[in-house]
Amino acid sequence: MSTDAYVHSIVQGVKGGPLLFVFHGTGGKEMQLLPLARNLLPGATVVAPRGDVSEMGAARFFRRLAEGRYDMVDLARATDKMKGFVQAHADARARTAGAEEIYGLGYSNGANILASVMLSAPELFSRVVLMHPLIPFVPEPQAGLARREVLITAGRHDPICPPDLTLRLEAYFRSQGATTELEWHEGGHELRPSEAEAARRFLSAVPVTGASR
């Protein structure tokens, strides 16, 4: 897969620093989370792809049939394509700068594609931040998630991502051996400063032994 499989932006970080992929929400573009990413993890090289699906003009990473009803065929397509994109950038970065850690951060639809990639190829990311993910199905067991690190952030009154599904996803990651944290706020689907602070602490923490690629 090519590093140009998606329209994307890159912000170069320091040599040997982490590589951070960020995935926007529905209707966002590749620039949506770049300022947040740079504040959360200074020195990281940030790669921000734009979703290649249009829903009435709003960019997404995969199609859906309705709110919370995914086009599972297109999700599989998008997951395979994104895996190739991430791997191509990781390989290119390793050749030129020797990046040791690869992280992911996604919001809403971006969190969903990031979660799907991690479920399919857990070796790609050592640490991910899933902001308001919605996984409306029970994933298959994935032994490769052991010693991965996951932060989920969510709103207790989110009308798009029901809290019970958030708790189910947290329980799933824990059951697979992933080091899992859950950060709640009292609002809905919006991002709040407490989430950004939790993500900053999580991404800047010393890596867990054995969790790197």
Q: Looking at the annotation, which residues are catalytic?
A: 108, 158, 189
- Specify the length of the chain in residues: 213
Could you give the CA distance from residue 94 to residue 87 in angstroms, rounded to a whole number?
A: 10
The dihedral built from the CA positions of residue 10, 14, 16 and 18, taken in this order, carries a sign that is negative
157 close to 128: Cβ distance less than 8 angstroms: no
Cα dihedral value 47, 118, 87, 4, nearest 10: -50
Of the candidates 17, 33, 206, the one whose C-alpha atom is nearest the C-alpha of residue 107 is: 33
For residue 44, the one-letter residue type is A
69 alpha carbon, distance to own chain's centre: 19
33 close to 116: Cβ distance less than 8 angstroms: no
Helices and strands: H and E segment counts in the chain = 5, 11
Could you give the CA distance from residue 155 to residue 187 in angstroms, rounded to a whole number?
A: 5
